[in-house]
Amino acid sequence: MEVCRDSIFEESYRLVLKFRAKDLRKRLMVKFTGEDGIDYGGVTREWLYLLSHEMLNPYYGLFQYSREDIYTLQINPDSSINPEHLSYFHFAGRVIGLAVFHGHYIDAGFTLPFYKMLLGKPIALEDIENVDPELYKSLMWILQNDIEGILDLTFAVEHSVFGKIESHNLKPGGEDIAVTDDNKKEYVRLYVTWRFMQGIEQQFLALQKGFHEMIPASLLRTFDEREIELVICGLGRIDTEDWKANCRLKHCTAESPIVGWFWQAVESYSDDMRSRLLQFVTGSSRVPLQGFKALQGSTGAAGPRLFTIHQIDCSTDNLPKAHTCFNRIDIPAYESYEKLLEKMTCAIVETCGFAVE
């Protein structure tokens, strides 16, 4: 599969939907146009990392953030502004399933109810707490208090569609059915279901279809929503102690200045920069479920391939170089910590692309 970095979303969309699902389950080989890198796993991880950032970007209107202060994603109910949106959701489902099938990760996180829906499980009131805490408090208050004579509710809700207020019945004839203490549990159950499925039924079914083309539903029955989240996204937070404990050193030792300075730089980085460093060296900003000991490298080698720090003999004016297929970073013997920090940060932020030596 050959794609151009500058049009990775549209080209990947065309190619992924062109192939039959059984062909996508074969060994995956990705090539970036104009680059000479050979894909032993690192190029595929880079492709999925870049593609997931484009595909899930709220700018494209397929997904949106569930809250302004928490960057978990949910399907955008207004995605139909793009007449081809269902085809794009089918594509998104295939990409997520393709990543899972080949042991890679999607660099994003969805709401917990999204994973429950993917597993075909019903959504409960408790699932709404982290997504919409104000609504959760309101619905809990209704359940815990007498509402007759206090709240004037019916089995209909109002919501905004492109700035226009519309009414939706939670059940047939809902606008004429009052909510009472006797039926409020049903009201809350229907409201919660509507909150997560409003306007996204067709989009979700298209995404689920694409996902199940790669990963049959029968294989998911043993998972719960937390487990499937880890399978799709990996571990988001990086444990630096686990990283150090499962790091291989080449042409250097734990006492070498370069190694000490490398970990000093890692400790000084923010969570975002640590993720970017990991992505720079391995092609993925995510850590496997089993931690750094399970990092995968070249598909031509059996078993995991540990993160490797390799001290090289070259000009210290050079930037560090990454070999994503082998999870290895080559670092010149810099004269000071400050120079290593400057050069490594520059390499992480400014460089991209693959080549063959």
Which residues are designated catalytic? 325
Single out the residue of 281, 328, 343, 324 nearest to residue 37, CA to CA. Answer: 324
Report the alpha-carbon distance of residue 42 to residue 283 in Å, rounded: 5
Matching residue, tokens 């660099």: 107
Distance CA 307, CA 45 (A): 15
CA angle 132, 135, 141 (to 5 degrees): 140
| H or E segment to which residue 73 belongs | strand 73-75
First-to-last alpha carbon distance for the chain, in angstroms, is 22
CA distances from 5 to 12, 49, 57, 302, 316 (A): 10, 12, 16, 30, 30
- Per-residue DSSP letter, 313: -
Whole-angstrom distance, CA of residue 61 vs CA of residue 297:
34
Coil, strand or helix at 3: strand
**How many CA atoms does the CB half-sphere of 288 hold within 13 Å?**
19
